[in-house]
């Protein structure tokens, strides 16, 4: 945490971005950087790690927030790095104080690790800019502070969390799945992609062999309908920035708690307000 000498406000310090998309040629990393830079103009120190890095050995206590991206690799994959991700998640959960934003595959991983259930891939993805609705707990959550009851986000996934872990708090739902976002202690989990701009998702769909998939799943009838689909169903909304601002605010609050705590004592969990029920 850093103190702004002019305003006296807490400024976010060090954030870990774990980029696990795991695609050989495509990356959302630039979108992450741009989103964080827009939402935290005081320029937090952003450390980026990927699947091949020793992220499971990271010194958790040196970060004020951890962001874990989605991935084309499923949460249930036997790949060694997924096992190391589970190890890191256990460490973050046991530490209990650093706010974590777990996106898409990481959202599913948290549910699976702590006793929830994830549905196998459904025949049709949830794809594009989709409407969600906050639960009562969601309206009180710091992650969704300032959100309307209903909001839209970009999404792309075929699995759904169909059962939450014991003690988890449901934050947002929609007609496809009631567990689109939940909180488990310091773990904030979202199925949607708040980090991605519509242009990036359109590029993914246009340039990475997704045309046949869109046809097979009934999103479009043939290639002539692709441009109209992308224009109508894949568009930006301001809420992704609101979510990142709120998460980075939680991280700054954790950093402030670190500074004011006595060195010899256990640092307190940030005050998540009505998130902690």
Tell me which H or E stretch contains 217: none
Q: Is the dihedral of CA 17, 20, 21, 24 positive or negative?
A: positive
Q: Quick one: 270 and 135 in the same domain?
A: yes
Is the pLDDT reported for residue 12 higher than 80?
A: no
pLDDT band at 90 (very low <50, low <70, confident <90, very high): very high
Q: Give the single-character DSSP code of 66.
A: E
**Domain identity same for 8 and 120:** yes
56 has pLDDT over 50: yes
- 41, 44, 132, 142, 190 from 245: Cα distances, Å: 10, 12, 19, 10, 15
pTM of the model: 0.89
Q: Which residues of 239-260 are buried (b: 16+ CB within 10 A; e: fewer)?
A: bbebbbbbbbbbbbbbbbbbee
Which DSSP string corresponds to 139-196? HH-GGGTT--SEEEEEEEES-EEEEPPTT-EEEEE-SS-S-SEEEETTEEEESS-TT-
The average pLDDT across 250-255 equals 86
Considering only 75-79, 89-93, 203-207, which range has the smallest mean pLDDT? 203-207
Question: 263: buried, middle or exposed (CB in 10 Å: 19+, 13-18, 0-12)?
Answer: exposed
Give the pLDDT of residue 27.
84
Determine the structural domain holding residue 94 and report its residue range: 2-196+238-275
Distance CA(203)–CA(244), nearest Å, equals: 22
Instruction: Determine the Cα–Cα distance for residues 138 and 168; give it in Å rounded to an integer.
Output: 12
182 and 230 together in one domain: no
Q: What percent of the chain has pLDDT over 90?
A: 74
Given pLDDT bands bounded at 50, 70 and 90, which one contains residue 265? very low
Tens of pLDDT, residue by residue over 206-240, are 877 789 999 999 999 999 999 999 999 999 999 99
Asked if residue 170 has pLDDT above 50, the reply is yes
The answer to whether residues 230 and 267 belong to one domain is: no
Whether residues 225 and 246 fall in one domain: no
Same domain, 56 and 107: yes
In whole angstroms, give the CA distance from residue 228 to residue 230. 5
């Amino acid at each position: 945490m850093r103190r702004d000498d002019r305003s006296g406000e807490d400024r976010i310090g060090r954030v870990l971005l774990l980029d696990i998309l795991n695609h050989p040629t495509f990356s959302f990393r630039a979108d992450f950087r741009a989103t964080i830079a827009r939402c935290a103009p005081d320029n937090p120190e952003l450390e980026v790690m990927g699947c091949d890095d020793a992220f499971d050995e990271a010194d958790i206590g040196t970060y004020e927030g951890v962001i874990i991206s989605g991935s084309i690799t499923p949460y249930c994959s036997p790949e060694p790095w997924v096992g190391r991700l589970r190890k890191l998640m256990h460490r973050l959960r046991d530490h209990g104080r650093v706010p974590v934003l777990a996106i898409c595959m990481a959202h599913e991983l948290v549910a699976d690790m702590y006793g929830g259930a994830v549905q196998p891939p459904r025949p049709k993805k949830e794809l594009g800019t989709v409407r969600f609705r906050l639960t009562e707990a969601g309206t009180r959550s710091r992650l969704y502070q300032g959100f309307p009851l209903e909001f839209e986000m970009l999404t792309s996934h075929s699995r759904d969390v169909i059962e939450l872990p014991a003690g988890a708090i449901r934050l947002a739902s929609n007609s496809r799945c009631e567990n689109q976002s939940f909180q488990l202690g310091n773990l904030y989990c979202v199925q949607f992609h708040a980090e991605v701009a519509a242009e990036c998702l359109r590029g993914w769909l246009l340039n990475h062999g997704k045309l046949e998939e869109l046809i097979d799943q009934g999103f479009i009838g043939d290639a002539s309908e692709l441009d109209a689909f992308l224009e109508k169903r894949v568009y930006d909304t301001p809420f992704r920035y609101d979510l990142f601002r709120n998460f980075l605010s939680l991280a700054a609050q954790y950093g402030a708690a670190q500074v004011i705590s006595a060195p010899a004592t256990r640092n307190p969990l940030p005050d998540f307000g009505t998130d902690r029920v």
